Amino acid sequence: MAGIPTILHVGLVWIPTIASILLSFSNWKGIRFSDITWVGITNYQQIFTVFEKNFFQALINNSVLLVFLFVGPTTLGIILAYLLDKDIHGTRFFQSIFFTPVVLSLAVVGFMWQSVIYSTENGLATQLFGGGKPIDWLGNQSFLVPFGGGYGISNNFVAILVAMAWRHSGYIMVLYLAGLKSVDNTLREAAMLDGSNEWQTFRHVVFPSLKPINVVVAVITVIEALRAFDIIYVLNTPRKTEVLSILTTNNLLGEGGGNVGRGSAYATILFVLCFGFVIWYVRNHYRNTQEGADS
């Protein structure tokens, strides 16, 4: 009964994952199987030397995204959830607004940001900050925060971060709101009666009691930071906004298309970064359920 679904899932998800790792040690161009030559770690060496500019910039961007998501939209999502949980009139209404970006199709999201907000000539951001002059928000590759050595956080990447924050907050808000509704209110009231102020109550009572949700929110934020792709790809910026998933795909579709070996090497690096984290989460989850089932 579970056979066919498992074969399908393992066959199309896990086998290709392993194939990616294996192919990262080859220089295959994807033409014939007989062309596969094993070249050891050459692809990785090239990534760290020839393509270092793209690779390290991508690594920086993924890291910046990770920190940014936690500090910005994840925190904002939690704050919004907490505030909406205080019997506000029209909670539902506000909830819908904040969550709409999550369900909107990428075709719309891309258009909104590329044109409505960031259009060089007549986008809202240009109207507000341009002072009558055009601003090339998505094309400006100069660094807003230079790190030296030709690396940094570019202006156009910051523009993209704003669009990503807009999408991410609502997702976190919905998850957290569900968690907050499950918090036992007598705990809160007891803490308030003991003289805790609101922040102390949240910090010492509410937040710790939401550990399962906190874990989920953390996992989602990390995974989203590592697999960010869609918005960046659609906004189609010239450079300096690359992330690991984009580099992998560029070796399939882009100018360097058909480079299976190098593309797989990028994929493997991405996999290594994700996998420890995924294993930690899965073990954590099923250890708990196992204990629950035994007791």
**Near another protein by CB under 8 A: residue from 60, 168, 179, 237:** 179
The type of residue at 101 is P
Q: Which stretch binds another protein (CB under 8 A): 42-50, 51-59, 92-100, 145-153?
A: 92-100
Pair of tokens at residue 239:
């450079």
Binding to another protein, residues 229-258 (CB under 8 A) = 229-230, 233-234, 236, 244-245, 248-249, 251-253
DSSP 128-155: HHSTTS---TTT--SEEEEEETTEEEEH
How many of the other CB atoms lie within 10 Å of CB of 88? 12
Q: Does residue 286 touch another protein according to CB under 8 A?
A: yes
Q: Does residue 39 touch another protein according to CB under 8 A?
A: no
**Near another protein by CB under 8 A: residue from 54, 85, 196, 207:** 85
Q: Does residue 63 touch another protein according to CB under 8 A?
A: no
Q: Which stretch binds another protein (CB under 8 A): 45-53, 64-72, 137-145, 224-232?
A: 224-232
Spell out, one character per residue from 100 to 139, where the chain touches another protein: x when CB under 8 A holds, - when not. Answer: xx-xxxxxx-xxxxxxxx-x-xxxx-xx------------
User: Cβ(29)–Cβ(258) under 8 Å?
Assistant: yes
Q: Does residue 87 touch another protein according to CB under 8 A?
A: yes
CA-CA distance, 214 to 200, in Å (whole number)? 18
Size of the site for another protein (CB under 8 A): 106
Pair of tokens at residue 133:
């002059």
User: Cβ(163)–Cβ(109) under 8 Å?
Assistant: yes
Pair of tokens at residue 91:
């909670």
> How many CA atoms lie within 13 Å of 240's alpha carbon, on the beta-carbon side?
22
Residue 60 vs 269, nearer CB to another protein: 269
* Closest distance to another protein from the beta carbon of 139 (Å): 13
Q: Rounded to 5 degrees, what are φ and ψ at 280?
A: -60, -45
Residue 239 vs 283, nearer CB to another protein: 283
